[in-house]
Amino acid sequence: MKIRLLIGWMGLMLLAACADDTTIKKPTSYVFEPPVLFGDRYDIPEDNPFTVEGIALGRNLFYEKMLSRNNQISCGSCHQQSKAFTDGAAFSTGLDGTLTSKSAMSLVNLLWQSKFFWDGRALSLEAQALQPIQDHIEMDLPIEEAVSRLTESNTYRKQFAAAFETEEISGDLIAKALSQFMRTLVSSNSRYDQYLLGEDVLTDQEKLGMDLFFTHPVANTGLRGGNCGDCHKTILTSGDRKDFLGFNNNGLDADDNLEDGLMATTGKPEDKGKFKAPSLRNIELTAPYMHDGRFATLEEVLDHYNSNVQTSSTLDQQIVEATNLPEAVLPVKLGLAEDEKEAIIAFLHTLTDETFITNENFSDPFEN
């Protein structure tokens, strides 16, 4: 009898041990290696570190149509990989066919950015991630309903458990998973990158375009420039990360037609008409251009800066001062020659990263 009791007790202990083996395991750390040219000036939140399971979950959620009211739209509907995570439209089509008020911005190299949306209203990717889901035009799903739908899925409960050590799904964890995935959307293998690494060469026209892109013109010294790099800075070609310095009024409209832009976020009149300077990575693929998609081609964009800048009270001073003409005058005219505009566009084409738009790690996991 004692032997039987002992065996029975040992059996219970073995079952308990097996139960412990099936407890939720800690997620696997994902070792992120930034592109050598980009540097380490980026922030990963301490409460949302990269994990293999978190990134995989975020990828699924990014393409999950269940996160829209009618189960027809996902984040990936308006941010398509083949178009560098834009959708090729001036305004995206929302849940019921209604158009959004802004163009879908490319999701690229977000890890090096600190403000999100055209008006800068989100100060982190976590703050940004849930807004399209809840937006009445875009996906129109209350977060409580999103949590409920995901909780009903045994697969998602297991994925959240693997990523965050809990099957208690929440809006906060949805945001964290989406943010982890979006931070992996790194584009760093364009011809421009290869040129800087000594692995490719640029044509004379492309080199001229690169020089013009990053040069602020000083007319009285004969220094010619396209002034692009004043707003689209460094190798990342993105707006300044600090505060709201990466938001500019680039002369799209005069005062009478000036949209609120950044002012809607800060409440400051001096920010009216300012919008985020997006990264120009893969710009060849992200037409139409500007926050309202008003320009269909890069040629139209260059024509705007060259001769069609509209004067307003908040027009960016760097644009006001940028001219290749003998004297700075209003309205602002950059004064590039045709061959110089063509050279800048040729350089912009070198920012296309074919590996970025074909990377299977960024693709829709539900397609197959």
d(CA 51, CA 28): 5
d(CA 47, CA 43): 12
Lowest mean pLDDT among 19-28, 63-72, 103-112, 242-251: 19-28
Lowest mean pLDDT among 25-39, 98-112, 247-261: 25-39
What would the 3-class secondary structure string for 69-86 be? CCCCCCHHHHCEHHHCCE
Lowest mean pLDDT among 30-44, 130-144, 146-160: 30-44
Query: Would you place residue 18 in the very low, low, confident or very high pLDDT band (cuts 50, 70, 90)?
Result: very low
Query: Would you place residue 328 in the very low, low, confident or very high pLDDT band (cuts 50, 70, 90)?
Result: low
Residues 6+ apart with CB under 8 A from 48: 54, 126, 176, 179, 180
What type of residue sits at position 182?
M
Question: What does the pLDDT average to over 42-67?
Answer: 97
Phi, psi of 165 (to 5 degrees): 60, 30
Compute the mean pLDDT over every residue in the chain, rounded to the nearest whole number: 92
Q: What percent of the chain has pLDDT over 90?
A: 88
Q: How far from chain centre, in Å, is Cα 295?
A: 20
Q: For residue 5, is pLDDT > 70? A: no
Helix (H, G, I), strand (E, B) or coil at 148: helix
Query: Would you place residue 23 in the very low, low, confident or very high pLDDT band (cuts 50, 70, 90)?
Result: low
For the segment 35-48, what is each residue's pLDDT rounded down to a tens digit?
999 988 898 999 99
Q: For residue 215, is pLDDT > 60? A: yes
Q: For residue 214, is pLDDT > 90? A: yes
pLDDT of residue 80: 98
Q: For residue 368, is pLDDT > 70? A: no
Contact 164, 341 (CB under 8 A): no
Q: For residue 7, is pLDDT > 60? A: no
Contact 174, 182 (CB under 8 A): no
Q: For residue 355, is pLDDT > 50? A: yes
What type of residue sits at position 243?
D
Query: Would you place residue 25 in the very low, low, confident or very high pLDDT band (cuts 50, 70, 90)?
Result: confident
For the segment 96-117, what is each residue's pLDDT rounded down to a tens digit?
999 999 999 999 999 999 999 9
pLDDT of residue 19: 37
Q: For residue 8, is pLDDT > 50? A: no
What type of residue sits at position 246?
G
